[in-house]
Amino acid sequence: AISIHWFRRDLRLEDNAALYHALKSTYPVLPLFIFDKNILDKLPKGDARVTFIYETIADLKKQLQQSGSDLLVKYGEPEKVWPEILKQYDIKEVYTNHDYEPYARERDDNMAEYLTSEKIAFKTHKDQVIFEKDEILKADKTPYTVFTPFYKQWHAKLNDFYVKAYPSKKYFKNLLQTRHLPLPALKEMGFENSKLDFPKISYKNKLNDYAKTRDFPAAEGTTHIGLHLRFGTLSIRKAVRDAIEAKSNVWLSELAWREFYMMILWHFSYSAFDSFKKQYDKIKWRNNEDEFKAWREGNTGYPIVDAGMRQLNQTGWMHNRVRMIVASFLTKHLLIDWRWGEAYFAEKLLDYEMASNVGGWQWAAGSGNDAAPYFRVFNPELQTKKFDPEFEYIKKWVPELETKKYAQPIVEHTFARERVLRVFKEALANS
Ligand code: FAD
């Protein structure tokens, strides 16, 4: 008899809550990863995140083999793969870490039902956040919908207990000893190797100056760890311990924003698809396809917007300040539905996280978790003066800026501002 640790978005061996609990329990542990066809079939075949996962899985496999064990890797729909695994192994318990997105919740509910019917215990643990869904609530036990009071409680509750590491490696002798198991090739699953560079986990030197530099896209003052938090190649507990050690409160609060949006997505799962403030779905978006294309390709004639979109297209990452500017531009200047922009970011961002992306887009559109009124319309020129005054960032991504080749502005700022205020006002008049 054995137990299984099912890896999903917790792709590391050390400081992994469910893996630790599996290793400390009764049976030898066989780790498992499923390349989920339900998710993969929707992605373009050059998707860089699939390459990242693949490389990470190959590395985990190698490390586990060095301990005399292995990683069982399957490709298919989990609901079809699991019955096959049950035929192959005598399984008593399945361990895994909580996952909060709508698809994941449905998958795990079905799994819990199936495994229970097979008399297998399904044991799940908190791992990807410090505080999850119901741990930070208002006095009346309802969820916060505004960040500042949420963060106040989050910060007050934070102590050593919540950030201590789970020493999973200490119990590696309890891994199932097995001969080498196969690894399907990336190609067999219909994907190509991506040539994008993946950011490394090396952020400690950024934390001291983070508060000063984080808003200036040319300064490279942020840590690029979103991808690693997304796939669990970095433990959130480790990141928070490092923030505390460096006394970087601003960075700490950014990590809490991530949890805030995850908590919101859990409690208000409709907001993945509909506006958080429902009356915003009455807005009459223009949704002009040509303008959407110009935005995607970085040809709007607004240098800061174009620089951001080109950075995204070429590297799979965009600076946070610029994400806010391009999102505001799409929804307010061009009056294109925030869902279109959200979907484009979802396809391109290496650090794509449904909760944060939906949260960021709805924040920009005005329909989300923000106390500011909708009539905040970012002025790209003023934003540039404040955050890229020497055009350092812009020139890196828009080298043709001062030539005739550079696009004319797609819309005039004052006209666009008046238009969006009128359209929003009409839609929101009676709410
Ligand atoms: P750092 O500034 O070094 O921050 C460290 C980590 O804190 C980030 O990696 C991230 O996990 C978290 N974080 C920082 N800022 C935020 C924030 N505002 N909201 C939530 N978490 C935050 N972040 C994503 O992780 N995935 C997304 O898909 C995503 N989409 C966004 C879309 C829009 C329109 C906007 C305005 C923001 C979005 N963000 C998203 C938030 C933020 O822009 C990125 O987390 C950040 O730019 C990632 O770079 P970094 O790792 O260098 O961050």
Q: What is the mean pLDDT of residues 207-229?
A: 97
Q: pLDDT by residue (tens digit) across 165-190?
A: 999 999 999 999 999 999 999 999 99
Structural domains of the chain ordered from first start: 1-127 (3.40.50.620), 129-164+203-267 (1.25.40.80), 272-426 (1.10.579.10)
Residues 392 and 308: their CA atoms lie apart, in Å, by 13
Which one of the listed residues 174, 192, 285, 347 is annotated catalytic? Answer: 285
Q: What is the mean pLDDT of residues 421-428?
A: 94
The pLDDT assigned to 375 comes to 77
- The closest residue, in CA terms, to atom 9 on ligand 1 is 226
The answer to whether 210 is a known ligand-binding residue is yes
pTM, to two decimals: 0.97
Q: pLDDT by residue (tens digit) across 73-83?
A: 999 999 999 99
Which residues does a 6 A CB cutoff place in the pocket of ligand 1? 214, 222-226, 229, 254-255, 257-258, 261, 320, 323-324, 327, 345, 349, 351-353, 356-357, 360-361, 364
The pLDDT assigned to 431 comes to 65
- Two tokens, residue 359: 């949260």
Instruction: Give residue 373's pLDDT band: very low, low, confident or very high (50, 70, 90).
Output: confident
> Tell me, what amino acid is at 191?
F
pLDDT at 36 over 70: yes
φ, ψ for residue 281, nearest 5 deg:
-80, 0
Q: What is the mean pLDDT of residues 233-256?
A: 98
Q: pLDDT by residue (tens digit) across 89-118?
A: 999 999 999 999 999 999 999 999 999 999
Which one of the listed residues 361, 363, 369, 397 is annotated catalytic? Answer: 361
Query: Is 338 designated active site?
Result: yes
Look at strands 91-97 and 2-7 and give their pairing.
Answer: parallel
Residues 170 and 168: their CA atoms lie apart, in Å, by 5
- The closest residue, in CA terms, to atom 52 on ligand 1 is 224
Residues 296 and 269: their CA atoms lie apart, in Å, by 27
Strand partners, 143: 137
% of the chain at pLDDT higher than 70: 100
- Two tokens, residue 357: 């992306």
φ, ψ for residue 31, nearest 5 deg:
-75, 150
The pLDDT assigned to 370 comes to 79
Cα distance between the two ends of the chain: 60
Q: What is the mean pLDDT of residues 288-314?
A: 98
- The closest residue, in CA terms, to atom 51 on ligand 1 is 224
* ipTM, 2 dp: 0.99
Q: Contacts by 198-202 with C-beta closer than 8 Å and gap 24+? A: 198/48, 198/52, 198/55, 198/227, 198/350, 199/224, 199/225, 199/227, 199/228, 199/317, 199/350, 201/225, 201/228, 201/233, 201/234
φ, ψ for residue 92, nearest 5 deg:
-100, -35
Instruction: State which ligand 1 atom lies nearest to the alpha carbon of 352.
Output: 28
The answer to whether 258 is a known ligand-binding residue is yes
- Separation of CA 320 and ligand 1 centre (Å): 6
Query: Is 320 designated active site?
Result: yes
Q: What is the mean pLDDT of residues 342-354?
A: 98
Sign of CA pseudo-dihedral 334, 338, 340, 342: positive
> Tell me, what amino acid is at 338?
W
- Separation of CA 403 and ligand 1 centre (Å): 33
